[in-house]
Each structure stands twice: as C-alpha cells, then as structure tokens.
Amino acid sequence: MAVGCIYGLTAWWSLPVGDSVNMGPGYFPIVLSMLLVLLGAAIAVRSVVGEYSVAFEGIPWRSIAMNTLAILCFASLIRPLGLFPTVMLTASLSCLGSANVSMTKAAIAGFSIAVLCTLIFSFIIGLPIAIVGPWLGGFI
C-alpha cells in the first residue's frame, strides 16, 4: 500500500526542482519526473484498488538504527581518530545490530575487524588514511 505514497512523494519532491532550472538542462529531468509521477499514480491506484499490496512488517529496526549509527560514526570520526579506532567503533556498533549480541561479542568483533582492516587497507593496499588520527597523537 505504501508503494504509491512513497513514489508520489519522491516524484513531487523532484518536480519543483526540475521546473526551477531553465529549459535546456531541466528538460530531461522534467520529462522523467512527469513519467515518475504517472507511474507513481498508477501504482497508488493499484494499491488502493487492493489488487497488489505489500506486507510491511518485520522491519529490523535494531539493525537499521545500529548500522546508521555505525556509518555516521565512521563518517565523522575517520579523519580525527584515524582508521584503527574508527573501524573498531564502527564494526562494534554494526555488530550490535544483529540479534542476540552481547557487548563482549561486539567488542571482539570490532577489535578483530579493526586489526584485519588495518592490515589489508593500510599495509597491503597502502591507502592514504592515518591509522591513528590527530586527536590521538597521530603517528603514521
């Protein structure tokens, strides 16, 4: 049922943006937005008629929340903290997203993944990311 709503929203949200740009570059996006609105409407009609509905349950909120947190944490901490600590934190957070995981397990996962990633990305591939960032003394 929600399919239609989501599409409608997506389409309407993109329409004004398409219009506001001048004719040349905006042409294609506008055509596409209109198509999307049409399709969105068709899907909405179909779901209202009830021919096709989607079960929307069993969403793993815990996983979504923890993984979101993990990625945000990575995004904001990678520069100041450096690779090793950030990965440890990111992996532990993401690990807590799985069901039935204790803090200890998460910490173990975080630590081992951090060791692995540092080995692979810093020593083998040689990515230009500091292993330990400026906030923590920052060598290498």
Instruction: Give the 3-state secondary structure of residue 112.
Output: helix
Residues 6+ apart with CB under 8 A from 139: 131, 132
Q: Which two tokens stand for residue 65?
A: 């929340």
User: Binding marks (x or -) toward another protein, 84..123, rule CB under 8 A?
Assistant: ---x--xxxxxx-xxx-x---xx-xxx-xx--xx---x--
Cα–Cα distance, 61 to 86 (Å, whole number): 23
39 binds another protein (CB under 8 A): yes
Nearer to another protein, 29 or 136 (CB): 29
12 binds another protein (CB under 8 A): no
**Residues within the interface to another protein (CB under 8 A):** 2-3, 6-7, 10, 14, 17-18, 21-22, 24-29, 32-33, 35-36, 39-40, 42-43, 46, 52, 54, 56, 58-60, 62-64, 67-68, 70-72, 74-76, 78-79, 83, 87, 90-95, 97-99, 101, 105-106, 108-110, 112-113, 116-117, 121, 125, 127-129
